Structure 1
């Protein structure tokens, strides 16, 4: 049986646009351990933000398959009609952003072997 090794870890990307005054910002993955799924199953991930105004911006999910570069999955807004997804997951992915709990969720259904990756949540 071909299983998918899907790991969910936190990645906080710091760009040259983020000043040193942004200390205390963080994203916490829940849970932060590896998840094993079979093809056809559904993966659900969540992440909590803190230290910044969560409602101000969209949140992005990205992944990194073993031995490959980063791949953007999609962008989630409070207004889900604004969400956008990569063609590789369109129709299978759903991102939900809840400002009241500072949580963002990713649901990826009908998993394929090529979905196997380390998955990150970024602002």
Structure 2
């Protein structure tokens, strides 16, 4: 995911990944912060890696051992935190990933 109009090095943002399986609700996957700290959904933790490419102002999601259950629209998003509260204030357009069994 390429960030425009800001920098992945900004400390108040958490660069996040969210997915929406067909017919289901949005599901948070995880995030990476400006300094490389990460936090992942417990059920996916063993298969997920998020990372930054600061020089290119990009951040990435890697999900291994994918099955049909991972079929979803995947979104990158910016989580903004200030004053003890956080919200997603910018979203990517989403990419449909289909895993055939």
Residues 1:59 and 2:15 aligned together:
yes
> Could you tell me which residue of structure 1 aligns to residue 93 of structure 2?
none
Name the structure where strand makes up a greater proportion of residues: 2
Q: Which has the higher contact order (CA 8 A, sep 6+)?
A: 1
Q: Cα offset for 1:83?
A: 0.2
Q: Cα offset for 1:84?
A: 0.6
Aligned residues: 76
Instruction: Output the CA distance in 1 between the equivalents of 2:34 and 2:67.
Output: 28
Q: Cα offset for 1:108?
A: 0.4
1:67-114 CA distances to partner (integer Å, 9 max, x unpaired)?
01100000112433x201002210111000122110101110011221
Using structure 1 for the length normalisation, give the TM-score: 0.58
Of 88, 94, 105, the residue aligned with 2:43 is 88
For residues 4-19 of structure 1, the aligned pairs below 5 Å read none
The alignment partner of 1:49 has SS state of coil
The alignment yields a C-alpha RMSD, in angstroms, of 1.2
Which runs of 5 or more structure 1 residues have no equivalent in the other structure?
Answer: 1-46
Are the counterparts in 2 of residues 78 and 96 from structure 1 also a CA contact under 8 Å? no
> Could you tell me which residue of structure 1 aligns to residue 30 of structure 2?
74
Instruction: Output the CA distance in 1 between the equivalents of 2:9 and 2:38.
Output: 15
For residues 110-121 of structure 1, the aligned pairs below 5 Å read 110-121=65-76
> Could you tell me which residue of structure 1 aligns to residue 57 of structure 2?
102
Which runs of 5 or more structure 2 residues have no equivalent in the other structure?
Answer: 79-101
Are the counterparts in 1 of residues 28 and 41 from structure 2 also a CA contact under 8 Å? yes
For residues 36-47 of structure 1, the aligned pairs below 5 Å read 47=1
